[in-house]
Amino acid sequence: MTLGAPFGARLAEAVRRRGPLCVGVDPHPSLLGAWGLGEDVASLERFALTAVEALADQVAVLKPQAAFFEAYGSAGVAVLERVVTEARQGGALVLLDVKRGDIGSTMTAYAKAYLDEHSPLAADAVTLSPYLGYGSLAPAIGLAEQTGRGVFVLARTSNPEGAGLQRAVTEGGGVAQSIVDAAAAGNAGADPMGHIGLVVGATVRAGELDLSRLNGPILAPGLGAQGATVDGLRATFGPVLPQVLPATARDVLRHGPGTAELRKAARRVQDQLTTLLD
């Protein structure tokens, strides 16, 4: 369905009501094992839907990692469709972590798969990779705006393999900064913020990027298991901290399979983030 209010406004309202936390729904084999589950579709479904049941009415954003579902073929994708539907019914915004990036008609097809109002996989937002050129993302960015959805474009990720490319300097400046600047141009004039977000790892060193003109949300993965801390977010993001959506997965999901334990773990992080922003 077309969602009416722009994504930036819907995200801002979700964060105001529930706090700035994004929890990944990542059915990683190690987590399935920790829950006493196997590596089969029934276990995948139990894990993912238990996480949704526990968290969809509590956190602002749930972020299913599509790869862990796609690994099970069509049956896994069917589970992912249920996750998207039930998470949104529970009141959470759904950020589908697909990291798609392509050109021309292929990018248009990806956009329709995840952002078209008639798609069974249509989420509130998706992650995109700009490293075939930021302009190649235009079909997804345009369709997201048209349907009230959002995108989060990889800018400066926390994985060490990305640093060489993302920190590279061209005639026009740094590669990652060029992505930030392009997103800022697309968000100009939006209130309270635009629908083009960025992915900037919570472990990235402070001051590496100028995010002051972005006027959009910043997904900051890496909280917990990857080494980033709630207290470190202020140093990393400084004045744009109110736009940051910290993301964690294992630090919450490892407390399953009990729904009460999952809710308690998420609430602990939410409380820490609320204290940080006060």
For residue range 41-54, what is the model confidence (pLDDT) as tens digits?
999 999 999 999 99
Average pLDDT of the segment spanning 117-128: 97
Give me the catalytic one of 63, 99, 112, 264.
99
Q: Is the pLDDT of residue 172 over 80?
A: no
Percentage of the chain modeled with pLDDT above 70: 96
| Lowest-confidence segment of 99-103, 133-137, 144-148, 169-173 by average pLDDT | 169-173
Task: Transcribe the chain into DSSP letters.
Answer: ---SS-HHHHHHHHHHHH-S-EEEE---HHHHHHTT--SSHHHHHHHHHHHHHHHTTTSSEEEEBHHHHHTTHHHHHHHHHHHHHHHHHTT-EEEEEEEE---HHHHHHHHHHHHSTT-TT--SEEEE--TT-GGGGHHHHHHHHHHT-EEEEEEE-SSGGGHHHHT-EETTEEHHHHHHHHHHHHHTT-SS--SEEEEE-TTSPTTSS--TT--S-EEEE-BSTTSB-HHHHHHHHGGGGGGEEEEESHHHHTT-S-HHHHHHHHHHHHHHHHHHH-
State mean pLDDT over 162-167: 71
For residue range 234-266, list pLDDT tens digits in order.
999 999 999 999 999 999 999 999 999 999 999
**Does the active-site annotation cover 99?**
yes
The third-level CATH classification (topology) of the domain covering 7-277 is TIM Barrel (3.20.20)
Q: What is the pLDDT of residues 45-90, one digit of tens each?
A: 999 999 999 999 999 999 999 999 999 999 999 999 999 999 999 9
Q: In whole numbers, what is the pLDDT of the chain averaged over residues? A: 94
Taking residues 199-206, report their average pLDDT: 89
pLDDT band at 1 (very low <50, low <70, confident <90, very high): very low
Q: Which pTM value belongs to this model?
A: 0.95
Mean pLDDT in residue range 214-230: 88
pLDDT at 8: 98
Kindly indicate the confidence band of residue 268, based on its pLDDT and cuts at 50, 70 and 90.
Answer: very high
